[in-house]
Amino acid sequence: MGHFAQIGETGSVAQVVAANDDMGDWLAETLGGVWVQTSYNTRAGVHYTTNDDGIRVPSDDQSKALRFNYAGIGFTYDPERDAFVPPKPFESWVLNEETCLWEAPLPYPDDGGSYSWNEDLLAWELIPSE
Protein backbone atom coordinates (compact mmCIF):
# COMPACT_ATOMS: atom_id res chain seq x y z
CA MET A 1 0.00 0.00 0.00
CA GLY A 2 1.26 3.43 -0.89
CA HIS A 3 0.15 7.03 -0.74
CA PHE A 4 -0.11 9.42 -3.67
CA ALA A 5 -0.47 13.19 -3.73
CA GLN A 6 -2.36 15.02 -6.47
CA ILE A 7 -0.37 18.07 -7.51
CA GLY A 8 -2.20 21.21 -8.64
CA GLU A 9 -1.05 23.65 -11.31
CA THR A 10 0.90 25.77 -8.82
CA GLY A 11 2.62 22.74 -7.30
CA SER A 12 0.37 22.62 -4.25
CA VAL A 13 -0.94 19.31 -2.94
CA ALA A 14 -4.69 19.10 -3.57
CA GLN A 15 -5.30 15.71 -1.99
CA VAL A 16 -3.54 12.58 -0.74
CA VAL A 17 -4.95 9.09 -1.23
CA ALA A 18 -3.94 5.57 -0.22
CA ALA A 19 -3.59 3.17 -3.14
CA ASN A 20 -1.58 0.19 -4.28
CA ASP A 21 2.00 1.14 -5.12
CA ASP A 22 1.42 0.49 -8.84
CA MET A 23 -1.67 2.72 -9.17
CA GLY A 24 0.02 6.07 -9.88
CA ASP A 25 -0.67 5.89 -13.62
CA TRP A 26 -4.25 4.72 -13.01
CA LEU A 27 -4.90 7.70 -10.72
CA ALA A 28 -3.68 10.12 -13.39
CA GLU A 29 -5.70 8.45 -16.15
CA THR A 30 -8.89 8.10 -14.09
CA LEU A 31 -8.89 11.19 -11.89
CA GLY A 32 -6.66 13.42 -14.00
CA GLY A 33 -3.79 15.59 -12.98
CA VAL A 34 -0.32 14.77 -11.79
CA TRP A 35 0.11 12.21 -9.00
CA VAL A 36 3.35 11.76 -7.05
CA GLN A 37 4.01 8.97 -4.57
CA THR A 38 4.72 9.99 -0.97
CA SER A 39 5.87 7.98 2.04
CA TYR A 40 3.67 8.08 5.14
CA ASN A 41 6.68 7.23 7.33
CA THR A 42 9.10 9.85 5.97
CA ARG A 43 9.94 13.12 7.69
CA ALA A 44 12.91 15.43 7.12
CA GLY A 45 14.38 12.99 4.62
CA VAL A 46 14.40 10.06 7.07
CA HIS A 47 12.19 6.97 6.83
CA TYR A 48 10.91 5.71 10.19
CA THR A 49 9.59 2.40 11.44
CA THR A 50 8.24 1.27 14.81
CA ASN A 51 10.45 -0.97 16.96
CA ASP A 52 9.27 -3.78 19.25
CA ASP A 53 8.73 -1.28 22.08
CA GLY A 54 6.36 0.81 19.93
CA ILE A 55 8.89 3.63 19.51
CA ARG A 56 9.44 5.28 16.12
CA VAL A 57 13.06 4.87 15.05
CA PRO A 58 14.91 5.44 11.77
CA SER A 59 14.43 2.49 9.44
CA ASP A 60 17.37 0.31 8.44
CA ASP A 61 16.18 0.69 4.83
CA GLN A 62 16.43 4.41 3.99
CA SER A 63 15.61 3.70 0.33
CA LYS A 64 11.96 3.97 1.45
CA ALA A 65 12.44 7.66 2.34
CA LEU A 66 10.50 9.36 -0.46
CA ARG A 67 10.54 13.08 -1.18
CA PHE A 68 11.73 14.31 2.25
CA ASN A 69 8.28 14.62 3.88
CA TYR A 70 4.90 12.93 3.76
CA ALA A 71 2.67 15.13 1.63
CA GLY A 72 -0.27 16.96 3.12
CA ILE A 73 -2.94 19.21 1.67
CA GLY A 74 -1.40 22.65 1.30
CA PHE A 75 2.14 21.31 1.00
CA THR A 76 4.08 22.16 -2.16
CA TYR A 77 5.76 19.64 -4.41
CA ASP A 78 9.13 20.98 -5.56
CA PRO A 79 10.19 18.96 -8.62
CA GLU A 80 13.74 20.36 -8.59
CA ARG A 81 14.30 19.05 -5.06
CA ASP A 82 11.90 16.12 -5.62
CA ALA A 83 10.47 17.06 -2.24
CA PHE A 84 7.24 17.85 -0.46
CA VAL A 85 7.59 21.10 1.51
CA PRO A 86 5.07 22.07 4.20
CA PRO A 87 3.49 25.55 4.22
CA LYS A 88 5.78 28.27 5.55
CA PRO A 89 4.55 28.99 9.09
CA PHE A 90 6.05 32.49 9.45
CA GLU A 91 7.62 34.99 7.06
CA SER A 92 10.93 35.00 8.96
CA TRP A 93 11.44 31.23 8.84
CA VAL A 94 13.91 29.74 6.37
CA LEU A 95 13.89 26.44 4.51
CA ASN A 96 16.42 23.88 5.68
CA GLU A 97 17.68 22.42 2.39
CA GLU A 98 18.72 19.14 4.05
CA THR A 99 15.29 18.40 5.57
CA CYS A 100 12.93 20.52 3.44
CA LEU A 101 11.35 21.78 6.67
CA TRP A 102 11.01 25.40 7.79
CA GLU A 103 13.12 26.61 10.70
CA ALA A 104 12.89 29.65 12.93
CA PRO A 105 15.74 32.16 12.71
CA LEU A 106 16.51 31.31 16.37
CA PRO A 107 16.80 27.77 17.75
CA TYR A 108 14.03 26.49 19.97
CA PRO A 109 15.08 26.85 23.65
CA ASP A 110 16.26 23.61 25.22
CA ASP A 111 15.45 24.38 28.85
CA GLY A 112 12.40 22.09 29.00
CA GLY A 113 9.86 24.90 28.76
CA SER A 114 7.07 25.21 26.21
CA TYR A 115 7.42 28.08 23.76
CA SER A 116 5.55 29.65 20.87
CA TRP A 117 7.03 31.76 18.10
CA ASN A 118 6.33 35.52 18.18
CA GLU A 119 6.79 36.82 14.64
CA ASP A 120 6.56 40.48 15.70
CA LEU A 121 9.47 40.09 18.14
CA LEU A 122 11.26 37.40 16.12
CA ALA A 123 11.66 35.44 19.33
CA TRP A 124 10.43 32.39 21.22
CA GLU A 125 8.04 33.27 24.05
CA LEU A 126 7.59 31.05 27.07
CA ILE A 127 4.05 29.70 27.42
CA PRO A 128 3.04 30.18 31.06
CA SER A 129 2.17 26.97 32.89
CA GLU A 130 -1.26 26.78 34.43
Q: What is the pLDDT of residues 83-122, one digit of tens each?
A: 999 999 999 999 999 999 999 999 999 999 999 999 999 9
Position with higher pLDDT, 12 vs 27: 12
Query: What is d(CA 21, CA 51) in angstroms, rounded to the nearest whole number?
Result: 24
| pLDDT recorded at residue 35 | 95
Q: Is the pLDDT of residue 12 over 90?
A: yes
Give me the pLDDT at residue 83, please.
97
Model confidence over 15-42: pLDDT tens digits? 999 988 788 788 888 888 899 999 999 9
Cβ proximity of 100 and 85 under 8 Å: yes
User: What predicted TM-score, i.e. pTM, was given to this entire model?
Assistant: 0.86
Output the DSSP codes for 108-130.
PP-SS--EEEETTTTEEEEPPP-
User: Is 2's pLDDT higher than 90?
Assistant: no
Q: Are 46 and 100 in contact (CB under 8 A)?
A: no
- What's the pLDDT score for residue 113? 94
